[in-house]
Every structure is written in C-alpha cells, then in structure tokens.
Amino acid sequence: MKISILTLFPEMFNVFEHSIIGRARNNGILDINTVNIRDYSTNKHKKVDDYPYGGGAGMVMSAQPVVDSIKAVKQNENSKVIFLGPRGKTFNQEIAKELSKLDELIFVCGHYEGIDERAYKYFDMELSLGDFVLTGGEMAAIPIVDSICRLIPGVLSSEESFTEESFYSGLLEHPQYTRPEVFEGEAVPSVLLSGHHENIRKYRRQISLAITKERRPDLFKCVKLSKEDIKLLKDYEKHID
C-alpha cells in the first residue's frame, strides 16, 4: 500500500520508521511518504494560513497550498483522499478494515482554527478520532495510519496477531498471561495450563464476552451471539453469582 501524508510537520511521522511499521516499510510492504504542504504555497514567504473572513480568533489554512499538494500527490484516480477533522465520521475498526483493502491513501492533516471550506471538495472522506480537541490532524493521523497498516497482509508476523485482538471481532480481548505461573500469590488460570486447545478457546471466548458486556455494552449489543456464546455467558454468570 502507498500512503501519502500531507502535513505542515513531516518530522512528526518519524515514528513510522520504527517497530512493526518500520520493518514493513523496509520489506517493501508499505510505502509511506510525508509531503510538506508549505512546499506548495505560492506565497513568497511560504505562508499557508490567513485571517478568517468575518472575523474570529485564530488563523485558517488556505485552500491553495492544500489543493495543490493534493493534485501533486494524487496520481491514481482510485486513491482516497482523507481529511482529518472534527466534522468527520468517528474512526473505528470497521473503517480500518475497509481502508486497508485499498492500494493508495492520501491523508490531509488540518491545523490552526480550520481549513478553507473550498478545499473540502477535494476530500473523499473526513475522519475524526472522537469528540475532543487535538492540536492538529497529525495527532489523529498517527494512530489511524497505524491501525490501517497493521491489517495489511505481511505487516504482522501472522494473521492471528490481529484477528485475536480487541475490536477485530467486535469484542474486547481476553486477558493474557506469561511466566511466572504465580506472581504475588496470583496464579495463571488452570485452563491455560491444561494444553486442551478447545477448552482454552472456549475460556478465552467466554472471558471476552463477559468483559465486553461489562465494560463496553455499546459494543456488546452489536455482537451477534451464537448458541455457544449464550451458553458460555450463562455459565460464566452462574459461576460469579
């Protein structure tokens, strides 16, 4: 996958040179490039913002450098241009799955008090992390790009690495344990030491269901429960009563 990130602060994305994403880039699985929007400003001082018409606090990003940077980067008509802004749809795992299937993504990071409305017609999608304020689109782009990239085949070491994680199946992940078997008097659940793979699978599913129901009822109500799931939950609730 090719990913272009249009930003005023390219150095913020050095994080993608490390760890799993960095390895995938080195292996040619990911092509992540940052583009400085300021480079496309026609202003002699390379300004990318100005005062808002109608008055108000702060500055507004100008349409010209944003639009010209998009035009310069977008070589494929099938690529999707995504603006990171507060009016967008809240990002989630389903969106990550959808976007991970595309060949090329272009992210535009907003800044200041907003962006000239006339640039919006060049965006295919607007995404937000949630109902809170960030200092700029860069802060939202990093987790969104990471979430998408780790779903691309070959980025992680095995498919199981992400299919068992929180949110991938609509449930929170089950608890994990490692050595020592007993820590500060608390032992690893015996079923995980049994070597019985089917019992381990059922236990992990049961705990994932129970944790999601308790802590994220909004997620739980969207899960389509199987007959086995219903039985596992009933058994769990009997056990804790």
pLDDT of residue 158: 67
Residue 116 shares a structural domain with residue 186: no
The CATH number for 223's domain is: 1.10.1270.20
**129 annotated to a ligand binding site:** yes
Return the number of other C-beta atoms located less than 10 Å from residue 26's C-beta: 10
Residue 158 lies in a domain: no
CATH number at residue 87: 3.40.1280.10
Ligand-binding annotation for 8, yes or no, is no
What's the whole-number mean pLDDT along residues 123-149? 96
Distances (CA, A) of 196 to 9, 46, 134, 163, 200: 51, 65, 47, 21, 6
CA distance 38 to 140: 20
* Separation CA 207–CA 21 (nearest Å): 30
102 assigned ligand-binding residue: no
DSSP string, 38-58: GGG--STT---EEPPTT--SS
Mean pLDDT over each residue of the chain, to the nearest integer: 93
Q: Is 85 annotated as a binding residue?
A: no
The two tokens of residue 193 are 């030491």
Query: In this structure, what is the dihedral angle of CA atoms 222, 228, 233, 234, given to the nearest 10 degrees?
Result: 130
Q: Which residue has the higher pLDDT, 169 or 65?
A: 65
pTM assigned to the model: 0.85
Q: Tell me: is residue 167 an annotated ligand-binding position.
A: no
Amino acid at 162: F
What is the total count of domains within the chain? 2
> According to the annotation, is 134 in a ligand binding site?
yes
Query: Per-residue pLDDT for 160 more than 50?
Result: no
Is residue 235 a known part of a binding site? Answer: no
